[in-house]
Structure 1
Amino acid sequence: METFAKITATAGYVPDRIVANEELAELMDTSDDWIVAHTGIHTRHYAMNQENTSDLSVQVGQKLIEQAGIDAEEIDLIIISTITPDSLTPSTAAIVQGKLHAKNAMAFDLSAACAGFVYAMSVADKMMRSGLYRHAIVISAEVNSKMMDFTDRTSTVFFGDGAGGALLSQTDDAAQEFLIDEKIETDGTGATTIHSGRVNPITHISADNFPVTDAFYQDGRSVFEFATQTVPVQMRELLSKNHLSGNDLEAVICHQANLRIIEKISDTLGVDMGKFPHTVERFGNTSSAGIPLTLSTLEHADKPVLLTGFGAGLAYGSILIRM
Structure 2
Amino acid sequence: MIGSKILATGHYVPKDIVTNDDLAKVVDTSDEWIVSHTGIRSRRVSLRGENTSDLATKAAEIALERAGISAKELGFIIVTTFTPDGLAPSTAALVQRNLGADKAWGFDLSTACAGFVFGLSTADKFIKSGAYQYGLVIAAEVNSKMMDFSDRTSTVFFGDGAGAAVLAPSEVGVLTAEEMHTIGDAEVVHSGRIAPLTKLSAENYPTIDAFAQEGRTVYNEVTTKIPNHIQDFLKGKNLTVDDVDYFVLHQANLRMIEKVAASLGQSMDKFITNLEEYGNASSAGIAMAFDQLNSQVDLTGKKVVLTGFGAGFTYGSLLLEF
Q: How far apart, CA to CA, are the structure 2 residues paired with 1:209 and 1:282?
A: 41
Is the Cα contact below 8 Å between 2:112 and 2:282 reproduced in 1? yes
1:25 corresponds to which residue? 24
Residues 248 and 303, structure 1, Cα contact 8 Å, conserved in 2: no
The code of the aligned residue for 1:51 comes to E
**Does residue 87 of the first structure (1) align with residue 86 of the second (2)?**
yes
In structure 2, give the amino acid aligned to 1:100.
Answer: L
Partner residue in 2 for 1:178 = 174
Q: How far 1:207 sits from its partner (Å)? A: 1.1
Aligned residue among 262, 283, 286 for 1:288: 283
- Matches for 1:110-129 after TM superposition, within 5 Å: 110-129=109-128
What does 1:170-249 align with in structure 2 at a 5 Å threshold?
170-171=169-170, 173-174=171-172, 177-188=173-184, 190-249=185-244
Following superposition, the deviation at residue 49 of structure 1 comes to 2.3
User: Given that residues 40 and 260 in structure 1 are in contact (C-alpha distance below 8 angstroms), is that contact kept between their aligned partners in structure 2?
Assistant: yes
1:243 deviates by: 2.2
The separation in 2 between residues aligned to 1:158 and 1:94, in whole angstroms, is 29
Contact 1:140 1:165 in 2 (8 A): yes
Q: Displacement of 1:244 after TM fit?
A: 2.0
Counterparts of 1:48-127 in structure 2 under 5 Å? 48-127=47-126
TM-score, normalised relative to structure 1: 0.97
Tell whether the 8 Å contact from 2:14 to 2:161 is kept in structure 1 after alignment.
yes
Q: Are the counterparts in 1 of residues 179 and 317 from structure 2 also a CA contact under 8 Å?
A: yes
Query: Deviation of residue 50 (structure 1)?
Result: 1.5
Residue 271 (structure 2) pairs with residue 272 (structure 1): no
Cα distance in 1 for partners of 2:245, 2:137 equals: 22
* Alpha-carbon distance in structure 2 between the residues aligned to 1:238 and 1:180: 12
Alpha-carbon distance in structure 1 between the residues aligned to 2:34 and 2:48: 26
- 1:33: how far off? 0.1
Judge conservation of contact 1:81–1:110 (CA < 8 Å) in 2: yes
User: Would you say 1:149 and 2:158 are equivalent positions?
Assistant: no
Deviation string, structure 1 residues 166-211 (Cα, Å, up to 9, x no partner)? 110112x12xx111101100000x3211000000011111111110
- Whether the 8 Å CA contact 2:231–2:241 is kept in 1: the answer is no
Q: Which runs of 5+ in 1 are unaligned?
A: none
Give me the identity figure in percent: 50
Q: SS at the partner of 2:292?
A: coil
What are the superposed Cα offsets for residues 20-56 of structure 1, whole Å, 9 maximum, x if unpaired?
0001111111100000000000000001222000000
Task: Report the counterpart of residue 307 of structure 1 in structure 2.
Answer: 306
- The amino acid across from 1:225 in the alignment is N
Q: Distance in 2 between matches of 1:268 and 1:303?
A: 22
Aligned to 2:134: 135
Please tell me whether the aligned partners of residues 112 and 313 of structure 1 are also in contact (alpha carbons under 8 angstroms). Answer: yes
Query: C-alpha separation between the residues in 2 aligned to 1:91 and 1:285?
Result: 23
In structure 1, distance between residues paired with 2:155 and 2:261: 25
Name the CA distance, whole Å, in 2 between partners of 1:86 and 1:178: 32
Q: In 2, Cα distance between the equivalents of 1:199 and 1:124?
A: 29
Q: Report the TM-score, using the length of structure 2 for normalisation.
A: 0.97
Gaps of 5+ in 2: none
Where 1:30 maps in the other structure, the secondary structure is coil
User: Aligned partner of 1:255: which letter?
Assistant: H
